[in-house]
């Protein structure tokens, strides 16, 4: 009698599930599994590995290809202090630019970094950090699980930073200096150790920076010149969302996780395209039934050159591409399973998994060094 694999997710099909080359945007998909020991994979449309990088630490969430063909990597720095439960899972702090041959040509360290980072066209790095809130601000944070603050009652707040190639700080934005805690209450299901928990930072057009704040279900646009908030997508539109990006027409593409979407009893994820001025959803992708597509945290959506959308169903390592009509034309399941390597992360997220924070699609002209 055969013994079944005890990891439920690994019993499911992995690798390439299917591809429609005629309707897919084509190209190559880059992903950095959260527990694959620092391996970053580039695969073609057939699901075949065409290149791999091996970094000394697992990802502090993400990896991207830069315009010069190098890898921009957000590594999980082993020296980052354990600020609160879960910090070990989502902090980064070890940034590196790596050639296709594996040579590290630039590094930057910030032990306060968590979640997202963006490698800008001018060579600067834009990323999120956490710092203790001033006591008077922390006292005004409402909602969340009572008594769940960090040690000594500390609540950490988000600071967005931009540094240049020399590591010099050229811009920063402290959340508590521009957001009133009363206007951004924590959801009842979230711990009070982190407010408002910015899980994504994305450069927009005309000097905007777009922030996704998961624990308060909000997406905002910040004007870098004045630091003021230009608009906000609130809980009537988004629910514990990730990965907002501004499209060419000014609409915002968002991965909407949907743990506690208002007036919905069945959690499900979706990808939405929102007009931020009209505060209206103009397009969305959701599965039928809705619960067939769901990831409680992480997740990504990238609009491709032909109008298709690459989606990362993060917790299940599922990458798939849909047309404007919602038809799936490519699907791949990450086959690389492992447990988190450090004890604090394993305690927070036990068991083996194949999770991916976010995947990215590139065309052949974006990777001139590649010979598939």
Spatial contact of 230 and 193, defined as CB atoms under 8 Å apart: no
Mean per-residue pLDDT over the chain, rounded: 96
The pLDDT assigned to 358 comes to 98
* Helix spans in the chain (H): 87-90, 135-138, 343-348
DSSP characters over 324-358 = TT--EEEEEE----B--SSHHHHHHS-S-B--BS-
Distance CA 201, CA 219 (A): 10
Residue-wise pLDDT for 294-346, tens only, equals 999 999 999 999 999 999 999 999 999 999 999 999 999 999 999 999 888 99
E runs forming strands in 164-268: 169-174, 194-195, 198-203, 208-213, 218-223, 229-233, 242-246, 252-256
Do the domain assignments include residue 8?
Answer: no
Instruction: Flag whether 17 is in a domain.
Output: no
Q: How far is CA 302 from the centre of its chain?
A: 11
Which residue range forms the structural domain that includes residue 49? Answer: 39-366
Identify whether 255 is part of a domain: yes
| Domains contained in the chain, number | 1
Residue 208 lies inside a defined structural domain of this protein: yes
Domain-embedded: residue 25: no
Give the sign of the dihedral formed by CA 168, CA 174, CA 178, CA 183: positive
Confidence bin at 1 (pLDDT 50/70/90): low
Mean pLDDT of 220-245: 98
Over pLDDT 90: what percentage of the chain? 94
Residues sharing a CB contact under 8 Å with residue 339, sequence separation 6 or more, in sequence order:
35, 346, 350, 351, 352, 353
First to last CA, the chain: 42
The secondary structure element, H or E, covering residue 116 is strand 113-119
Q: Give the residue-averaged pLDDT of 83-106.
A: 96
Taking residues 223-240, report their average pLDDT: 97
In terms of DSSP H, where are the helices of 247-365?
A: 343-348
Is 61 domain-assigned? yes
Q: Is residue 345 part of a domain?
A: yes
Is the pLDDT confidence value at 99 over 90? yes
Structure tokens at 101: 């041959």
Single pTM value for the model: 0.97
Token pair recorded at residue 270: 């979706």
Kindly report the CATH number assigned to the domain that includes residue 325.
2.120.10.30
Q: Is residue 19 part of a domain?
A: no
Nearest-angstrom CA–CA distance, 288 and 270: 11
């Amino acid at each position: 009698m055969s013994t079944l694999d005890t990891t439920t997710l690994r019993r499911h099909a992995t690798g390439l599930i299917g591809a429609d080359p005629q309707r897919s945007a084509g190209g190559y998909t880059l992903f950095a599994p959260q527990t694959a020991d620092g391996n970053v994979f580039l695969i073609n449309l057939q699901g075949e590995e065409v290149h791999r990088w091996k970094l000394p630490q697992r990802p502090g969430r993400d990896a991207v290809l830069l315009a010069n063909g190098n890898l921009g990597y957000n590594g999980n720095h082993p020296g980052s202090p354990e600020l609160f439960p879960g910090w070990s899972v989502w902090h980064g702090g070890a940034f590196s630019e790596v050639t296709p041959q594996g040579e590290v040509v630039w590094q930057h360290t910030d032990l306060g970094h968590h979640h997202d980072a963006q490698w800008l066209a001018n060579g600067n790095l834009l990323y999120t950090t956490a710092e203790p809130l001033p006591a008077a601000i922390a006292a005004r944070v409402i909602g969340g699980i009572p008594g769940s603050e960090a040690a000594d009652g500390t609540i950490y707040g988000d600071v967005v930073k931009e540094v240049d190639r020399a590591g010099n700080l050229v811009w920063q934005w402290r959340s508590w200096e521009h957001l009133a805690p009363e206007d951004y209450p924590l959801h009842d299901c979230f711990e009070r150790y982190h407010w408002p928990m910015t899980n994504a930072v994305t450069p927009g057009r005309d000097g905007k920076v777009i922030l996704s704040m998961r624990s308060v279900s909000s997406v905002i646009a910040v004007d870098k010149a004045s630091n003021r908030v230009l608009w906000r997508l609130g809980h009537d539109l988004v629910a514990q969302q990730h990965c907002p990006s501004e499209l060419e027409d000014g609409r915002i593409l968002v991965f909407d996780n949907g743990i506690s979407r208002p007036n919905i009893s069945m959690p499900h994820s979706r990808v939405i395209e929102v007009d931020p001025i009209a505060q209206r959803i103009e397009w969305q992708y959701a599965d039928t039934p809705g619960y067939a597509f769901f990831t409680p945290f992480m997740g990504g959506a990238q609009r491709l050159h032909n109008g298709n959308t690459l989606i990362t169903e993060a917790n299940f390592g599922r990458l798939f591409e849909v047309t404007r009509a919602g038809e799936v034309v490519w699907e791949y399941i990450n086959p690389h399973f492992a447990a988190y390597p450090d004890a604090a992360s394993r305690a927070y997220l036990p068991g083996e998994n194949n999770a991916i924070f976010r995947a990215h699609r590139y065309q052949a002209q974006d990777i001139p060094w590649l010979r598939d």
